[in-house]
């Protein structure tokens, strides 16, 4: 296999992973579905949703949990059987979940369909998209490659948000879920068949070999048991838990927040936030390849903490639409950086051989953070009528993350 062929094969894997994530990123449009459900609850009548307002985020919270924890099993299958089978199963599970919820308004079935089935399918697809792409490239491109592949997940609402809004208006929420379900089976499972790991013994050529890289690829290959014995893992886990949880809290509620100033055009805020989310993944990947992950993450945490406190007056008043959109974009950008920096951390500290399982274990922080923060946020909103307390909790927690990140930097000087 020639160098050019290998290079092209690597970018084919990047493209296939990007397509898969562009479909699976429908998770980030939950706020649009939630708004439709809430309107149905408030309108009442035959066939209407009858959920308690404090439970409106429950399917989303369970989906995040299922997504994260399924990545441990999916990572093991990916490491042993390859990415194609893993992602193919993911497409079937996500599609089945959406088809199931298209037939009912039951909260229990939505938790099972959107939460458990779709969440598990997203975990399988997501876990199989990044590893094969990373394996075709040298360490000096780890951040960029991971950033491009996972950017699809963040970028998805750019087209899914307006598409979902159009479908819900034209065909109703449940028929829209059926359309999405069929589309997922075709797109995700189809793209999955393209994914391939490099041949046994393949070592990517590093054009920067001989230079002192900020993020080297000299890490030995260690399994999850070894990783779980390291204090580094628990510091990273807590930082990932808080930083992702605070971002997902806003992402899950942005449509409702934007409605005050944007009305039915609130989906635009969701779509523009997605551009920030995707951009954060690519920019953080590029920057971390240059200045290191610790410094990159520290800058992001400072920025995100400040934005949480700025969000209090913006979300509490009838702020101009432009201000709401800018706030959503920056929060999405900062949140997105996590999904390119932390895979690079795992590869750099514990190697590539067991990357699927190792990153799956670390993703439990993402799942618990998103589930707990979004559930608390919805509860506090139901109790107080605003997001102020949620933003205060998130802002203080992010300052704690910064301290932990600086400690992590000292450990790995």
pLDDT beyond 70 at 18: yes
Share above pLDDT 70 across residues of the chain, in percent, rounded to a whole number: 90
Do the domain assignments include residue 225? yes
Determine the Cα–Cα distance for residues 181 and 96; give it in Å rounded to an integer.
Answer: 6
Better pLDDT: 232 or 374: 232
User: CB-hemisphere CA count at 13 Å for 391?
Assistant: 23
Q: How confident is the model at residue 404 (pLDDT cuts 50, 70, 90)?
A: very high
Res. 216: pLDDT tops 50: no
Residue 211 belongs to a domain: no
* Residue 209 maps to a domain: no
Please tell me the predicted confidence (pLDDT) of residue 329: 83
CA distance 313 to 388: 8
Considering only residues 59 and 200, tell me which one the structure prediction assigns the higher pLDDT.
Answer: 59
Residue among 37, 188, 44 at smallest CA distance from 111:
37
Structure tokens at 197: 């790991």
CATH number of the structural domain spanning residue 386: 1.20.1250.20
- Domain assignment present for 159: yes
pLDDT tier for residue 45 given thresholds of 50, 70 and 90 = confident
Structural domain of 331: 7-199+217-411
Task: Please name the residues in contact with 178: beta carbons below 8 A apart, sequence gap of 6 or more.
Answer: 98, 99, 102
Domain annotation covers residue 1 = no
pLDDT of residue 286: 83
* 153, 21 contact by CB (below 8 A): yes
Asked if residue 314 has pLDDT above 50, the reply is: yes
- Looking at per-residue pLDDT, the higher value among 348 and 186 belongs to 186
Residue 210 — very low, low, confident or very high, per pLDDT cuts 50/70/90?
A: very low
Residue range 330-339: average pLDDT?
A: 84
Residue whose C-alpha is closest to residue 246's, from 383, 376, 76, 364: 376
Structural domains counted in the chain:
1
Give the separation between CA 347 and CA 297, rounded to whole angstroms.
Answer: 16
Residue 269, domain member (yes or no): yes
Three-state DSSP class for 236? helix
Unique residue bearing structure tokens 């009838």: 318
Residues 390, 257 contacting (CB under 8 angstroms): no
pLDDT of residue 278: 83
Dump pLDDT digits (tens) for 67-99: 888 988 998 898 888 899 999 999 999 999 999
For residues 393 and 214, the model is more confident at 393
Q: How far is Cα 180 from Cα 185, in angstroms, rounded to an integer?
A: 9
Taking Cα atoms as reference points, which of 272, 118, 86, 106 lies closest to residue 197?
86
Task: Identify whether 204 is part of a domain.
Answer: no
How does residue 221 score in pLDDT terms, banded at 50, 70 and 90?
A: confident
Lowest mean pLDDT among 258-272, 314-328, 330-344: 258-272
**Is 313 among the domain residues?**
yes
Per-residue model confidence (pLDDT) at position 272? 79
């Amino acid at each position: 296999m020639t160098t050019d062929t290998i290079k092209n094969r690597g970018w084919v894997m990047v493209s296939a992973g990007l397509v898969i994530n562009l479909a699976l990123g429908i998770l980030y449009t939950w706020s649009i579905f939630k708004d439709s459900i809430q309107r149905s609850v408030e309108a009442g009548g035959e066939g209407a949703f009858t959920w308690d307002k404090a439970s409106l985020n429950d399917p989303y919270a369970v989906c995040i949990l299922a997504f994260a924890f399924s990545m441990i099993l999916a990572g093991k299958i990916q490491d042993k059987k390859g990415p194609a089978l893993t992602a193919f199963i993911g497409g079937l599970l996500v599609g089945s979940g959406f088809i199931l919820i298209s037939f009912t308004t039951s909260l229990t079935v939505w938790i099972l369909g959107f939460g458990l089935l779709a969440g598990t399918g997203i975990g399988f697809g997501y876990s199989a998209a990044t590893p094969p792409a990373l394996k075709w490239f040298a360490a000096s491109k780890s951040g960029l490659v991971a950033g491009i592949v996972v950017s699809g997940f963040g970028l998805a609402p750019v087209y899914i948000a307006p598409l979902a809004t159009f479908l819900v208006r034209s065909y109703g929420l449940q028929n829209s879920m059926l359309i999405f379900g069929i589309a997922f089976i075709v797109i995700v499972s189809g793209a999955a068949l393209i994914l391939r790991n490099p041949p046994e013994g393949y070592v990517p050529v590093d054009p920067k070999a001989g230079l002192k890289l900020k993020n080297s690829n000299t890490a030995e290959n260690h399994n999850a048991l070894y990783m779980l014995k390291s204090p580094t893992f628990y510091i990273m886990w807590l930082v990932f838990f808080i930083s992702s949880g605070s971002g997902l809290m806003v992402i899950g509620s942005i449509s409702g927040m934007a409605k005050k100033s944007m009305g039915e055009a609130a989906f635009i805020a969701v779509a523009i936030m997605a551009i920030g989310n995707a951009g954060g993944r690519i920019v953080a990947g590029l920057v971390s390849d240059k200045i290191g992950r610790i410094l990159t993450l520290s800058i992001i945490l400072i920025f995100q903490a400040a934005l949480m406190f700025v969000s209090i007056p913006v979300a509490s008043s009838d702020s101009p639409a432009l201000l709401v959109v800018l706030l959503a974009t920056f929060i999405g950008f900062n949140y997105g950086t996590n999904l390119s920096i932390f895979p690079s951390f795992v590869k750099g500290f514990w190697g590539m051989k067991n990357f699927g399982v190792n990153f799956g274990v670390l993703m439990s922080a993402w799942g618990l953070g998103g589930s707990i923060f979004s559930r608390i946020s919805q509860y506090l909103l139901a109790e107080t009528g605003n997001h102020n307390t949620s933003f205060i909790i998130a802002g203080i927690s992010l300052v704690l993350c910064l301290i932990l990140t600086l400690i992590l930097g000292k450990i790995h000087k």
